Amino acid sequence: MIGYVTLGTNQFERAASFYDSLLAEIGATRFMESDQFIAWAASPNQPSIGIIKPHDGKAATVGNGMMVAMIVDTPAKVNALYQKALKLGGTDEGAPGPRGDSGFYAAYFRDLDGNKLNAFCMKS
């Protein structure tokens, strides 16, 4: 089970603004923050996503093959997150739609630092 995921950023305030707006689409708000780290969650004790300035002081880079997947309960919310990300300046990595025949409905996009994200739901 995932507790939290952190994404490195070189432009902390820009990333904070992107995630404040994006995650508001699913009711997530900031629940922890400092001058080095901000974390968002939809409710206490639930998995969270955070941005962070790398502890070693080096530039943040995008991890190849790394992706954060956010589960929601409807295809409409998948679509809304994808559209919001693009409106905020994120980039497309795969438009919303079914993937295979297992009921997996997903959209893929990148944030302003190039981190890959996914919004998905399981349709019955």
pLDDT in tens, 71-87: 999 999 999 999 999 99
pLDDT in tens, 12-63: 999 999 999 999 999 999 999 999 999 999 987 889 999 999 989 999 998 8
pTM above 0.75, yes or no: yes
pLDDT in tens, 51-78: 999 989 999 998 888 999 999 999 999 9
Average pLDDT, the chain: 94
Greatest Cα pair distance in the chain: 46
Q: What is the DSSP string of 72-108?
A: -SSHHHHHHHHHHHHHTT-EEEEEEEEETTTTEEEEE
**Superfamily of chain region 4-54+66-122:** 2,3-Dihydroxybiphenyl 1,2-Dioxygenase, domain 1 (3.10.180.10)
Residue 60 and residue 9 in contact, taking contact as beta carbons nearer than 8 Å: yes
